[in-house]
Structure 1
Amino acid sequence: MDKAVYIAMASGQNIMAAQAIHANNLANANTTGFQADFAQARSLGVYYGEGLSTRAYSRAENPGTDFNRGALNETGRDLDMAVEGDGWIAIQAPDGSEAFTRAGSLKLDPTGQLLTGNNLPVLGNAGPIALPPADKVSLGADGTISIRPAGQTTDVLATIDRIKLVKPDSVDLVKGNDGLIRHRDGEKQLPDASIRLRSGFLETSNVNAVDELTSIMALARQFEVNVKMMKVIEENSSAASQVLRTQ
């Protein structure tokens, strides 16, 4: 009986892990550039010594990330950029490593450093991008950053840097615990001139809220089944003990 209880308990525990993945996806349905995580369950045999596997238990896991593209929403803001098609904006992660994002809601800090919406430096030709004082900042479709220096006339433009745009193979990308996308081997990527940006647009998350909510409800029902199974096992164990006491 204890083996059956363990299987039901392990199944319930893994259902809770899958619930956490789907709940996180649903919570980020409105997060700019968010890439949804997959959740799957596997059936694994339980082996006891040299005997055959007569029981199986489930294991929930996150096999990867959904790299399908979200929709593009027009914002009209000069520093909002959406990547068209495949490709990523290279940024500097808090640990100093190179990471990638499609969340192009950019901003300037008081020192002129170009940052993402969550305050991570955007990388250019020679590292994090820093701009001198300017009355206007423009971003080109190829990532080129042009400014009108402070106090200059409207016909005076200066090209300062270029946002690093990369296109690694999606099979080589992994999402870290911090939510950032990185190359599986930690390799820095070379800029790809074929990637284009669309100014004044942001990419929505690729989360399908209906699918995520349906999955959460289905998992809740499965959890209830496992709880009932444990209750039945308890009742059977009590009945068996009662029978032994009457012998």
Structure 2
Amino acid sequence: MDRMLYIAMSGAKEAMLQQANTTNNLANANTVGFKRDLEAFKAVPIDGPGYGSRVYTQDQGIGTDFSSGPMISTGNPLDIAVKGQGWIAVQGPNGREAYTRAGQLKIDGNGILTTSQGYPVMGSSGPISIPPSDKVDIGSDGTITVRPNGQQPNALAVVDRIKLVNPPESNLVKGASGLMQTRNGAPVPADANVSVESGMVEGSNVNTVESMVRMISLARQYELQVKTMKAAEQNDQASAQLIRLG
């Protein structure tokens, strides 16, 4: 009886984890640059004395779907979307270099170019600082050109170049902040082949219909596991009753 209960319990536990992950994906369906999380599980036999009849469902960790999201036009010159493969380098909350596809950029009160979450965007030699300007343009290679306040329309100056990278996807992991980092935490060099499009952002790659269907399926799986546990309890009570009668 314990074997039946053990298997059902482990299945219900992992169904709850999958439900939580799917819920998080659905909550970020409108988050710019979000990459949906993927979960993986495997069956692990429990070794020990006696016959190996118990199998536990083990979480293999969370992966990431690196497919591109839809391109959304904003008309904002500070917004950029990476075309094809590649990432925008930013300074993460721990001070280390991290990577994102969320190109909804802004200039903070100190003149630092940041993402909408407040992470400084990295340039050739660190976070990019934008001087007071009437106009800011970002080229396809990430080059930032400004027209300083009060200057003539043709008085343009190159400030810096956004660091664009393209590390192997297998070397990237998503941190707690939602930013991508290399597995060893080391920064990667800029890649001149990565390009961006100004006035656009990349939307989330979460499919809302697929996520909703998955949530319903997981809820039914969890319910089935709970029913199995209930059946194990009833069988145990029936067996105990038969023993008492004997």
Match of 1:9 in 2: 9
TM-score, normalisation: structure 1: 0.96
Offset of residue 48 of structure 1: 2.6
Residue type of the alignment partner of 1:87: G
Match of 2:241 in 1: 242
Structure 1 residues 1-247: aligned runs within 5 Å: 1-49=1-49, 51-247=50-246
Residue type of the alignment partner of 2:91: Q
CA distance in 2, matches of 1:211, 1:45: 31
Three-state SS of the structure 1 residue aligned to 2:177 is coil
Offset of residue 101 of structure 1: 0.3
Residue type of the alignment partner of 2:231: V
Q: Conserved in 1, the CA contact under 8 Å of 2:12 and 2:225?
A: yes
CA distance in 1, matches of 2:226, 2:142: 54
CA distance in 2, matches of 1:46, 1:139: 57
Three-state SS of the structure 1 residue aligned to 2:224 is helix
CA distance in 2, matches of 1:58, 1:210: 27
Q: Conserved in 2, the CA contact under 8 Å of 1:18 and 1:61?
A: no
Offset of residue 59 of structure 1: 2.4
CA distance in 2, matches of 1:177, 1:124: 24
TM-score, normalisation: structure 2: 0.97
Offset of residue 55 of structure 1: 2.4
Q: Conserved in 2, the CA contact under 8 Å of 1:15 and 1:60?
A: no
Residue type of the alignment partner of 1:39: E
CA distance in 1, matches of 2:177, 2:209: 25
Q: How many residues align?
A: 246
Unaligned runs of 5+ in 1: none
Q: Deviations over 1:182-220 (max 9, x none)?
A: 111112111111111100001011111122111111111
Residue type of the alignment partner of 1:175: K
Three-state SS of the structure 2 residue aligned to 1:100 is strand
CA distance in 1, matches of 2:30, 2:61: 21
Residue type of the alignment partner of 1:105: Q
Q: Deviations over 1:32-61 (max 9, x none)?
A: 000011122311112232x34212222244
Greater CA drift, 62-71 or 30-39: 62-71
Residue type of the alignment partner of 1:246: L
Q: Conserved in 1, the CA contact under 8 Å of 2:6 and 2:54?
A: no
Q: Conserved in 1, the CA contact under 8 Å of 2:148 and 2:156?
A: yes
Three-state SS of the structure 2 residue aligned to 1:111 is coil
Greater CA drift, 5-14 or 15-24: 5-14
- CA-atom RMSD in angstroms: 1.1
Offset of residue 166 of structure 1: 0.4
Offset of residue 63 of structure 1: 4.3
